[in-house]
Chains A and B, each alone.
Chain A
Amino acid sequence: MKYTLRVNGADRSVDVDADTPLLWVLRDALQLKGTKFGCGASLCGACTVHLDGAPVRSCVLPVSRVGSAAVTTIEGIGTSSLGKRVQDAWLDVDVVQCGYCQAGQIMAATALLAATPKPTDADIDRAMSGNLCRCATYNRIRAAIKQAAGMPTTDTRGSSA
């Protein structure tokens, strides 16, 4: 089947089976390898992209259901000022260990901040708990989100008297 997708602001044509998840269309048909495969079952968030600005798991989204929605991937997120701010915060806080989860983390974090510019720890927990980090860079992910939001990054959780 032929589809025309709107990816990172450009129209891209692909010829793939209708049930092909958007993840594999991006990675193998469009050679956008930044979006990652971790579980294929909406359990890890490595494949997170935006559909009209909302975070979705591209590993379980068939290409036939994308329609005319605007797809934004990690390769395109830096063109928005918020996306760039999140990427810069990720670098400044030095979040990355292996880095495999981080595209998905950045996509989820950008969507969070677009909806909630000053997130609480609970907001961060809610928005980010679908994204696994096997290296467990969670403390720095939290700090980077707060930094991108212009908030103090000191982790005050657990400082009970």
Chain B
Amino acid sequence: MKPANTARSHPTTTRPADPSRRAFLTAGAAIGGGLLLELTLPASAVAAVAGLTPTPGAELNAYIRIAPDGLVTIVSKNPEIGQGIKTMLPMLIAEELDVDWKDVRTMQADNDPARYGRQFAGGSRATPLHWDPLRRVGAAGRQMLVSAAADTWGVPLAECRTAAGSVRHEASGRVLGYGALAAKAATLPVPDLKSVVLKDPRDFRIIGRSQRGVDSPLVVAGEPLFGIDVQVPGMRHAVFVKSPVFGGSVATANLDAIKALPGISHAFVVSGGELFDGLTSGVAIVADSWWTAHKARAKLEVRWNDGPTAAQDSKEFARQAAVLAQQAPALTIYTEGDVQAGLASAARVVEASYSYPFIAHATLEPQNCTASVRDGKAELWAPTQNPDSGAKIVAKLLGLAEPDVTVHLTRCGGGFGRRLMNDYMAEAAWISKQVGSPVKLLWDRADDLRHDFYRPAGFHFFKAGLDRAGKLVAFRDHFVSFGKNGKFASSAGLGATEFPARFVPHLELGASLMPLDAPTGPLRAPGSNALAFAFQSFIDELAHAAGRDPVQFRLDLLGAPRRLANPPGPAGATPDFDTGRMRAVLEAVAERSGWGKRPLPKGSGLGVAFYFSHLGYFAEVVQASVDARGKVRVDKVWVAGDVGSQIINPTGAENQVQGAALDGISAALAQVITIDRGRVTQRNFDDYPLMRIDAAPPVDVHFVLTDNPPTGLGEPALPPVVPALCNAIHAATGQRIRHLPIASLDLRSS
């Protein structure tokens, strides 16, 4: 492996002129628990997939192992889904351990929450949750090495310094490498994590410098890393055919005909349960190769009991939503002032309805899992974002104790929230148990698109009032979404702080719910990825109705820099919403994009939007062109983001932001999942198109550094790009995009 080098591409950063003292999150006490326990990865965990080989050496704590030659192995606890976590988390430890990054190897942890705390990839949470605690883990390791050196030399601790993997006694000039000290250090008491001393950020040598993805050399060489690549001795291959209608079950199947096919070892019906995030009804086919099992599907004849979901339909939802919009909202989410009076007294009232469709995650690696269930134990190799939840589902399903379920985390070929659910783990485990041998289950693309947990569709009915000066004085949204008994379906909600709530004197956010029996779930920036489109597009309409520049209108709406308290989120206290941070990124993106300063060719326009999600402040400008035939071309995207005081890995950060912006555009342009009589009609990338390279514009990424703890980047850059694109199309053509996807609309100029 070549030492990690510095990538060419860097996002730019600026820091406002007057930074006061930085603040840090407090340490999570649980992190680093289990220090000095022996590292006990079962050999099978490392045999199956390359890149997981533990190096020999002394273990300082659950995360750090140092070999006699000074090579340092750092464990990465969370699943790698392409967000760069296997590089970023070890960087935090390595920085405070004070080693050279080129001497560091990283290793993926198994699922072991007792040792590592929660291990998941979601909510852009890894940075805020680990920024402080993992640096303390590194600092604790460093302190143990310094103690070992001081003890060896018989000198006071305070006379010893560390640099790049060695301890130095200044007075005598003696130097010992970490490799030589590790065995002794590992016998010393573990310092209290709260008391260890962290570096001054000015002394950072790893954090803040671009470090290439640690597994990239293996990726470009085609080494097996992903779930789909797992190979276990004696392994068979399985496909699992589920009811096309959500919640349907197998009535009869021609199992004998399937079992008679060459190469097929098993074919059986699985009755399954009710929960989508688990085992549902279907037919399992097991063979000596995946192709043989897959081919047998063409011969499979199943009669399904469709069940009640067969009555549900995308078209019908749209019709129902329009009816519900005529009635008062069933739920009140937030009110301020008197919206009726506000609208009645407004000089100008603007009304518009917005909608967006269901969409799928479509990870490029289809869902899969390898399981070996025998002798009352289950071992799984799973590309999952949420391994412990998967372990619990499997334990319950098979009637095993949780400690008897081992989950090895493989690299994931994309996640985007899909792999927070673990249905494929339940299926693989169940099939392996029935077959009595290890099984690799692999879905095909149609399985993947038809059995997802979809970003829910949604319908917004807006009405707003402007006063004579063009100021927004009243705002109402009736959101028609999905759910039951007054509770939103997963990721189908709307919160009380949705902007412009708290920024308009008279405002009402209400909702009505339609029952839905298809599974929904979080997709990259859940909720926000859709709400940003509706709200920031409608705000653009209001800016135009007011005759104001869209950037200036938004700045006026945000008002003076100040902090608004946010209610606690699911993970506890949520920092305030800081209008000053949002103003700063909006001003930065206007400046970088040449907003209002550049003449644009006919048929081209600039659109702007901002959005706060996952603790990140993002403002984005899109330049788009529409030709006479109505074809949309995205020319360029500018992103300005504020995720705190420090960009931990600039090359990774830029990659995430570019990916998020293009992801949002890709979905907005052409993606739709259609539910037709309870089943999804799309089956592959021809009817569910992803952006291709010829449609991918350059994305300029700029970070505004502020005196706030660093926060995550996987998601918050996505939401604003969708309305920025739609607003750009309006600027180019005069046509408002109120319904997604854009490809479903006729934008021809007459």
Contact = CB atoms under 8 A, between A and B. Distances in A.
Contacts of A73: 222
B281 interface: no
A138 interface: yes
Interface in B404-421: 411-416
A125 B655 contact: no
Contact of A134 (B212, B226, B363): B363
B684 interface: yes
B7 A94 contact: yes
Given A44-B685, A99-B215, A138-B662, A38 B366 contact: yes
B693 A129 contact: yes
Contacts, number: 218
Contacts of A97: 82-84, 213, 655-656, 659
Residue from B84, B416, B693 whose CB has the most chain A CB atoms within 10 Å: B693
Nearest to B368: A37
Task: Tell me what chain B mostly uses at the interface: helix, strand, loop, or mixed.
Answer: loop
Contacts of A153: 8
B552 interface: no
Interface string A57-73: 00000000000000001
B231 A140 contact: no
Contacts of B651: 94
Contact of A159 (B82, B636, B656, B699): B636
B413 A36 contact: yes
Interface in B114-159: none
Interface in A65-119: 73-75, 77-78, 87, 90-103, 106
A29 B693 contact: no
Interface in B186-224: 210, 212-213, 215-217, 219-224
Contacts of B212: 91, 94
A160 B600 contact: yes
Task: Tell me what chain A mostly uses at the interface: helix, strand, loop, or mixed.
Answer: loop
Interface string B83-109: 110000000000000000000000000
B659 A91 contact: no
Interface stretch (B284-292, B350-358, B465-473): B284-292
Contact of B219 (A99, A141, A155): A99
B286 to A, nearest CB: 14
A128 B662 CA distance: 16
B2 interface: yes
Contacts of A102: 219-220
A33 B216 CA distance: 16
Given A75-B221, A96-B219, A125 B694 contact: yes
Contact of B693 (A37, A96, A128): A128
B593 to A, nearest CB: 11
Contacts of A39: 445, 684-685
A34 B212 CA distance: 20
Interface string B652-682: 1001101100110010000000000000000
B5 interface: yes
A94 B213 contact: yes
A17 to B, nearest CB: 7
A17 B364 contact: no
Contacts of B216: 90-91, 94-96, 99
B690 interface: yes
A2 interface: no
Nearest to B8: A93
A130 B693 CA distance: 9
B655 A140 contact: yes
Nearest to A90: B220
A98 B85 CA distance: 11
A134 B686 contact: no
Contacts of A106: 220
Contacts of A93: 7-9
A106 B223 CA distance: 14
B579 to A, nearest CB: 31
Given A28-B237, A40-B445, A158-B623, A87 B220 contact: yes
Nearest to B665: A136
A20 B294 CA distance: 11
Given A24-B289, A98-B414, A99-B225, A36 B365 contact: yes
A7 B430 CA distance: 36
Interface in B603-618: 604
B364 A134 contact: yes
B569 interface: no
B257 to A, nearest CB: 18
Nearest to B412: A98
Interface of A: 16-17, 19-21, 24, 28-29, 31-41, 43-44, 46, 73-75, 77-78, 87, 90-103, 106, 124-126, 128-143, 147, 153, 155, 157-161
Given A103-B220, A131-B693, A136-B696, 6 more contacts: A36-B226, A41-B685, A99-B215, A133-B364, A138-B662, A160-B604
20 contacts: A17-B295, A28-B237, A28-B290, A31-B231, A36-B364, A37-B366, A91-B212, A98-B81, A98-B364, A100-B82, A101-B364, A125-B694, A135-B364, A136-B658, A136-B659, A140-B655, A140-B658, A158-B623, A160-B600, A161-B599
